[in-house]
Structure 1
């Protein structure tokens, strides 16, 4: 019965862990959303009045009609660019659908009534494109740009000539098969005076409550990296409480949500300032580059990378050594990373994420089998010692010191470790939590089918068949180990109800995780039968 209690304890600890996380989320003060958070729609797009400027004051707003927006289409992105400021005000991910088996793409960046989530960039300084008088209005050679078949890159140049004659070209470069976009500013100083410029890029998002739940404790908010801080979240409440100002070499600034991320990655060999701003119910996070001087009659190019897409660890790592950390595995990242790599390896062989989960379950159970066998053996020995332990209790009564000494001598004589059943649970719990986060954070499992009715491993079983099968497997495991007659009646009732309680909990778990638990139970039942048969041959019941 001890092993059954151990397995149930794993689940209880895990559910308690989720409840604690959700309590932390629910009890944290919610950011206030004011009437000013209502953003204009794409049909009446305006640029933000909160873009940073080098001197003082903020640029004035300038409206632009939807017909003036510039559309860029690739095999991965469908983007709308506002000529005012050259900001990306809409980004749909062509290869990631909003819903399973539907054609509508998932929209990450957008601007609509009540919500704004856009990527802005520009040049500050006396010779920049953004000032207190407003932001530059760029012109393009066409209203639509499309990455043609057989074309690897698509360049979208936006031109602006200042009143003093200085010429600026903002260039977006899109790549086939990629969600990363190159952003360049070419400054041609045709004037007789030096131009002071400083590039910035920021992501602006309306502050809104998270969609997180106990079974899906996901994060929505900002994050950043510096030379000293590899990865740190900076949620909306943090942004409202205090502006972030961190000078660093390299670094990046991002907005995160479940499965997807947008991020500015400035040049890694330059000194940048990572900053945040709270402005009328919107949160901004971004970078400011080094101040540059463009001499008269010369040209200069400033650049940064912008990523808008899924949390693809390989693609993110190409932009920055630490950007892949936005796939947040928590404090068990050191265990989750090899589990993720092993899961990817299995999937590359079988081509099915559900089968890959089954294979990794078999692998984990196989690795732990020697410890599981030692656990059952120890428990069997402990059960066989119960009559002798009872004799010691009868002999020494309430003398705990002599009772303890006698028990230790008995354990030593019989070569029994009373803690032998604890090690497997200490190993299984972190492995289970790490795998949980791998399955939760892996965008690869989003809309990934398994077989039959399971067409998306990242969401709950629509017919609750897997949770019910999991409950049945727990019930069978419980029947294999009859309750000890010395167990308290209340404990017996709790153990009898455990399969039901866990079945109810698992109704809302992602089906990929339920599949892991179900297969683990089945393997555990088989292992128990094999181990019990071996123990009975040795005379241990």
Structure 2
């Protein structure tokens, strides 16, 4: 497979993918508009959620709730999180990430959970089952708290919320925040002060307003994901929710909502059997997990636990919570290549201290490691180019007799010791590595708002002056000029001539992150240097490479 055809093939794939993406977005938006009701989710300025989406409970022996407490919002601040908790249900209704800016150069923290122009994104948890207060038809419980505001001053901060029903059963929902951590422990303690046993079932879920995904370069997959004991990582989009509710039984497992650079996830008790479910209601997509129904004996207490993560896609931090949760850093099916490359990229950055230079360094290292394949590719292409006069002679001799032409061609290849697939196979072996690098640069939160030098102050954003796309187009043009032209069809030759221009406008129209374009540009420049070195060596051996 010649490099010219490869450029064309990749270009057609990218254009086709983006066209499909836009069609898919319009379709999803139409579905969302159709399913939306007149009851829009619009919270007041206090950020209190206005609806209760509780998973179905077949039990109906729930005691009447005590509703004397006044609903309010509790604020919790740590060194990395600024969180608001609604006392009704004890839900996390807002979360700001203090170490991540909303926009580049802004002092405003990134809003991960909360209200987004009428769209809602919150975390919910509670107790359903025979005596679960969240299953009460009169509404979810309203908790009381010792304070209205909390701030972490040590290594750990406990925020207890308490509710007592009309039978005297005490439910204490405690969030445990830790310094430098985006994961929060949830401890649910049920103190049964009655003379009868009670039964409850813990559920945890994330709810987000249905919304279509943006373009490929704006963000990666936006939607729900989950993992079970048999399926390490599965996506379940809003469209999937519209088609059918998910219902998976598993020991352990996890659920999450992911977006570009960030994730929210619930990791339940891994020692018990859980049910992973989805709901789609009032234009709200929900993914959650229910634990087993448990009995709390008379005059006894029982604690149930779960972990909630709300923060950047930090693979190490996610893996520490659940061994498969790091897969939400969505590197696609090439994750087993992308993950080591990300480790290498971080290692290089630890020495260099600049993500742009780290990208250049890892590109050089990868291209050097793949040099034997590159040499095999261009050597084969050059040899094929040198055979073109003899191929034309065979074509003139055998004309339209394809059988004899094929036999004569194979004999020529054997005699000249040329492998017709020699230019294709090395390229195919290199493609997974470069595609894995593509996802590393696209998905890694470390590159969000990372500065390089000069005008490139954010490697996750487009080049504001389009210098990199233009340089990339120029490098692609030079690559084509240096390569031996093996394409003989005039139409294909003309298409190859225009490909650098097409790719340049492609990178300008679709705002690819400048870090990605920098990687492609450096890769092209190294390829040019390697090509010149390889061809110079072949010409010394008497092999004619170019006209």
1:99 equivalent to 2:103? Answer: yes
Deviation of 1:260 (Å): 1.0
Helix, strand or coil: the match of 1:159?
strand
Describe the SS at the equivalent of 1:453: coil
Gaps of 5+ in 1: none
Greater mean deviation of Cα atoms: 385-394 or 287-296: 385-394
* Residues 1:432 and 1:512: Cα distance change in structure 2 (over 3 Å): same
Aligned equivalents of 1:488, 1:64: Cα separation in 2: 80
Q: Which moved more, 1:85-94 or 1:353-362?
A: 353-362
The question of whether the paired residues in 2 share the 8 Å contact of 1:37 and 1:282 is answered with no
Match of 1:137 among 118, 125, 142: 142
Residue pair 2:8, 2:496 contacting (<8 A) in 1 also: no
Aligned residue pairs total 535
**Which residue does the alignment assign to 1:412?**
414
Note if contact 2:381-2:484 (Cα within 8 Å) is conserved in structure 1: no
Whether 2:197 is the aligned partner of 1:198: answer no
Structure 2 equivalent of residue 512 of structure 1 = 515
Displacement after TM superposition at 1:482 (Å) = 6.5
User: TM-score by structure 2 length?
Assistant: 0.92
1:390-409 residue pairs with structure 2 within 5 A? 390-409=392-411
| 1:316 and 2:315 matched | no
Deviates more, 1:373-382 or 1:267-276: 373-382
Give the equivalent residue in structure 2 for 1:33.
36
Rate the CA distance shift 1:489–1:389 in 2: closer, same or farther, 3 A: closer
Alignment-derived partner of residue 176 in structure 2: 173
Range 467-476 or range 337-346, more displaced:
337-346
Secondary structure of the 2:506 match is helix
Is the counterpart of residue 337 in structure 1 residue 336 in structure 2? Answer: no
1:161 aligns to 2:164 (yes or no) = yes
What's the C-alpha RMSD, in Å, of the aligned pairs? Answer: 2.5
Specify which of 56, 79, 85 is matched with residue 83 of structure 2.
Answer: 79
Q: Over residues 427-465 of structure 1, what are the superposed CA-to-partner deviations in whole Å (9 max), with x where a residue is unaligned? A: 233222222111111111111111111111111111111
Distance 2:16 2:348 in 1: 28
2:94 to 68, 90, 94: 90
Distance in 1, matches of 2:103 and 2:47, equals: 28
Please name the residue that 2:351 is paired with: 349
Q: Which deviates further from its counterpart, 399-408 or 31-40?
A: 31-40
Aligned to 1:304: 306
- Indicate if the aligned counterparts of 2:316 and 2:326 stay in contact, CA closer than 8 A: yes
Aligned to 2:295: 293
Q: Does 1:122 align with 2:126?
A: yes
1:303 Cα deviation after fit: 0.9
Select 2:380's aligned residue among 378, 393, 399: 378
Correspondence for 1:147 among 149, 152, 157: 152
Match of 1:237 in 2: 239
Name the CA distance, whole Å, in 1 between partners of 2:521 and 2:304. Answer: 54
TM-score (norm 1): 0.93
Aligned to 1:272: 274
